[in-house]
Structure 1
């Protein structure tokens, strides 16, 4: 049966890589080795992993597996509040430890406690919602509350007993980067005294906003900052380079690479801005837009980009004529701030207007500030504006 571009979809699914899929891994050895070293040699501490959404934090965490260190991985899925984060963490950890010799009994006891605790609160809430009456004010005053203090004590007990049995214990917590920054910091700060113990290391994903604040604290740019009192370190997962994005997609495609023109990979890499998820996303959209074709062309992809950006800018962005002109002039190269102003002035912009347009494009994240300088996002390189 003859292949079509539809066959590409099965290998381009956007999901984290798992241990055992290392052949698809691209340029994450530095972060993985660093975290493995911390787990092996750091006596104790809380270490964060941060980066843009879709950059590959979960993939990095999935490959952290230090030899000789007892490792447990949990995902946080309840995100209503600081309390829900803690009881989700406690329940997930207890469940993971129920089959561990020497810890099993305590783990089962803790999981039953947290289940009963949450059931009582949920059941009470349900009862009130069905039985609203004149006594509601009194009911609210005696409404049971989640025992945050006892929960963190039980968390500490569970960790302590595991350390006693396993000597070195690494707990990897994923999905915290999807929580509110304030809730994450409040939970960690409130439980740190119960989890900072010899031979126990926590590695967790964090919102990018926490990394920015942590970096400022470490460089003493933030006078009131204290995140270094919470985190031993935070590892930043860097965006991939264009060649690495192409390598990632080539590895995913395997023998299906014959179904796309060579130049397609260049356009995908430009569009991605170093984020694998963005590259896979636009390539997948182009495939769906050309689902019956035998081969995907550069023109097919650019048409999909134009359609997508037009749709998204129509919904979320309104660009002035000056902004559109600046995008056309600047895209495709990297500039210093002064070079941008100089370039725009040569194109007829007044100096004050050039500064204003530059700031507007930065605010809209169409103009990106990177280590090398400023550049127009690759998402606008091929757009007809």
Structure 2
């Protein structure tokens, strides 16, 4: 097998039941999900994690004996289209079992066709011409859609007693938009017999944790979201296992230290591991290299990282703190060591630290800060 064929094996795509054997150490998360499904009577529950950590993979592999509906949103322009997308997908997947579903599906298709057709007419005729004819742009009938969603969920609960609704791709929206959608659909989705599992942006998890520790404040997230299953970052050994599971038959193409280098770069995120591995392979192919050695891989990563740093234009003083010997540690210890080592003013050192953290060059986990693996070898010989 040639080196380039490995690219297909490390493609960054969600796992499903057919390749579930490639899944690594998500047993605790699945256990939490199954307990919620089994024992909670109702509620909206989030599945949160950094981009690329595997939310869709987890959603793809949720299986239950209860009646379940999995949908992946495609229309996310605004709150109206998200509601229509949710309603249409539920109706589509239940039209053989629930009488009202076909009526809902046909109504949505007619609504969308009319509104889209009108929008196309505007493009052809021109806004000014339409304005002179006193024509108003039609809007989605949001309240009718909510009424239909309420009726449909009632019918589902009546027939199946308990329904698991799993919604993917909502995490692609902003935190504000996601919360607005969920808050406005509380009455339709938060009813006995309906369990909603929805992928959420990582930013919502941070706010949810804060709200749980500060009771009796207005606007708390727990009024919308009952609980959140957090998909933690993988450990280095888990990332290594993820990679080796995919390339176990082709491991001879890599020096063993190359895999460790890729693991460091990933910072616990499989997507980053796959991306940098592909970059290294493509660079090797362009130079007619058939086996990837550590020095070649390290230099490839350094070139990529330097290209990024040129874009953000770090100062020489800022580059001083990209030094692995300062990490890991708490913020105050790292800054103090930087002040002592590089004779920086206290305010300057803190400003540099915060800037590097903002850029993702310094990362934090449980209050401990460390240099991102992407920059670990940048200034090491």
TM-score tier by shorter-chain length is over 0.9
Cα distance, 1:348–1:136 mapped onto 2, change above 3 Å: same
How far 1:183 moved relative to its partner? 1.8
Paired residue secondary structure (2:321): helix
Paired residue secondary structure (1:74): strand
Task: Please give the alpha-carbon distance, in whole angstroms, between the structure 1 residues aligned to 2:339 and 2:157.
Answer: 64
Which among 308, 311, 323 is matched to residue 312 of structure 1? 308
How far 1:133 moved relative to its partner? 7.0
Tell me which residue corresponds to 1:363: 358
Q: Deviations over 1:145-167 (max 9, x none)?
A: 11101101111212221222222
Which among 230, 238, 241 is matched to residue 236 of structure 1? 230
Task: List aligned pairs for 1:179-258, cutoff 5 A.
Answer: 179-220=173-214, 223-258=217-252
Which among 24, 29, 34 is matched to residue 32 of structure 2? 34
How far 1:141 moved relative to its partner? 5.6
Task: Please give the alpha-carbon distance, in whole angstroms, between the structure 2 residues aligned to 1:140 and 1:172.
Answer: 43
Tell me which residue corresponds to 2:85: 88
**TM-score scaled to structure 1, two decimals?**
0.93
Which among 282, 287, 292 is matched to residue 288 of structure 1? 282
Paired residue secondary structure (1:121): helix
CA RMSD of aligned residues (A): 1.9
Structure 2: runs of 5 or more not aligned:
none
Paired residue secondary structure (1:189): helix
Task: Please give the alpha-carbon distance, in whole angstroms, between the structure 1 residues aligned to 2:336 and 2:124.
Answer: 68
1:383 corresponds to 2:378 = yes
Provide the aligned length of Structure 1 versus Structure 2: 377
Cα distance, 1:283–1:139 mapped onto 2, change above 3 Å: farther
How far 1:86 moved relative to its partner? 0.8
1:73 corresponds to 2:36 = no
How far 1:75 moved relative to its partner? 0.6
How far 1:7 moved relative to its partner? 2.3
- Whether the 8 Å CA contact 2:157–2:193 is kept in 1: the answer is yes
How far 1:359 moved relative to its partner? 1.8
Tell me which residue corresponds to 1:297: 293
How far 1:363 moved relative to its partner? 2.0
Tell me which residue corresponds to 2:369: 374
Structure 1 stretch displaced more, 133-142 or 32-41? 133-142
How far 1:221 moved relative to its partner? 7.7
Structure 1: runs of 5 or more not aligned:
none
Tell me which residue corresponds to 1:132: 126
How far 1:329 moved relative to its partner? 4.9
Task: Please give the alpha-carbon distance, in whole angstroms, between the structure 1 residues aligned to 2:132 and 2:69.
Answer: 43
- Whether the 8 Å CA contact 1:192–1:230 is kept in 2: the answer is yes
- Whether the 8 Å CA contact 1:98–1:107 is kept in 2: the answer is yes
Structure 1 stretch displaced more, 215-224 or 171-180? 215-224
Task: Please give the alpha-carbon distance, in whole angstroms, between the structure 2 residues aligned to 1:302 and 1:98.
Answer: 55
**TM-score scaled to structure 2, two decimals?**
0.94
1:157 corresponds to 2:151 = yes
